[in-house]
Amino acid sequence: MDFFELLKESLPMLMQGLMLTLQLSAVSLFFAMIIGIVASLMGMSKNIVLRGINRVLVAVVRGTPLLVQAFFIYFGITGLLNIRITAFLAGVIALSFNAGGYLSEIFRGGIQAVDPGQREAARSLGLSAAQTTWRIIIPQAIRICIPSVVNQWCITIKDTSIISVIGLAELTNAGDAIISRTYRSFEVWIMVGVLYFIVIWLLTKLARFVEKKVSLDEQH
Partner 1 sequence: MNNTKSPKVEVRGLHKYFGKNEVLKGIDCDIQTGEVVCVIGPSGSGKSTFLRCINCLEEPTQGTVLVDGNLMDDKAKNIDELREDVGMVFQHFNLFPHLSVMENLTIAPILRKKMQKEEAEKVGMDLLTRVGLADKADAMPNSLSGGQKQRVAIARALAMRPGLMLFDEPTSALDPEMVGEVLDVMRQLAKEGMTMVIVTHEMGFARQVSNRVLFIDQGVIAEAGTPAEVFDNPQNDRTKSFLAKVLNA
Q: Please, what is the minimum distance in Å from the beta carbon of residue 128 to partner 1?
A: 5
Residues between 95 and 134 that touch partner 1 (CB under 8 A): 115, 117-118, 120-128, 131
Give Cβ neighbours of residue 127 (< 8 Å, ≥ 6 apart): 135, 136
Count residues binding partner 1 (CB under 8 A).
23
| Site membership for partner 1, residue 136 (CB under 8 A) | yes
> By CB under 8 A, what part of segment 189-218 binds partner 1?
216-218
Minimum distance from residue 105 beta carbon to partner 1 (Å): 23
Q: Judged by CB, which is closer to partner 1: 81, or 216?
A: 216
Of 86 and 131, nearer to partner 1 (C-beta) is: 131
The single residue among 139, 147, 167, 193 that binds partner 1, judged by CB under 8 A, is: 139
> From residue 142 to residue 171, what is the string marking binding to partner 1 with x (rule CB under 8 A)?
-x----------------------------
Question: Is residue 175 packed enough to be buried (19+ CB in 10 Å), middle (13-18) or exposed (0-12)?
Answer: buried
106, 148 in Cβ contact below 8 A? yes
Contact track, partner 1, 61-100, x by CB under 8 A: ----------------------------------------
Cβ proximity to partner 1: between 86 and 118 the closer is: 118
Considering the complex, state which of residue 47 and residue 219 has its C-beta at the smaller distance from partner 1.
219
Report the interface residues with partner 1, using CB under 8 A.
Answer: 115, 117-118, 120-128, 131, 135-136, 139-140, 143, 216-220
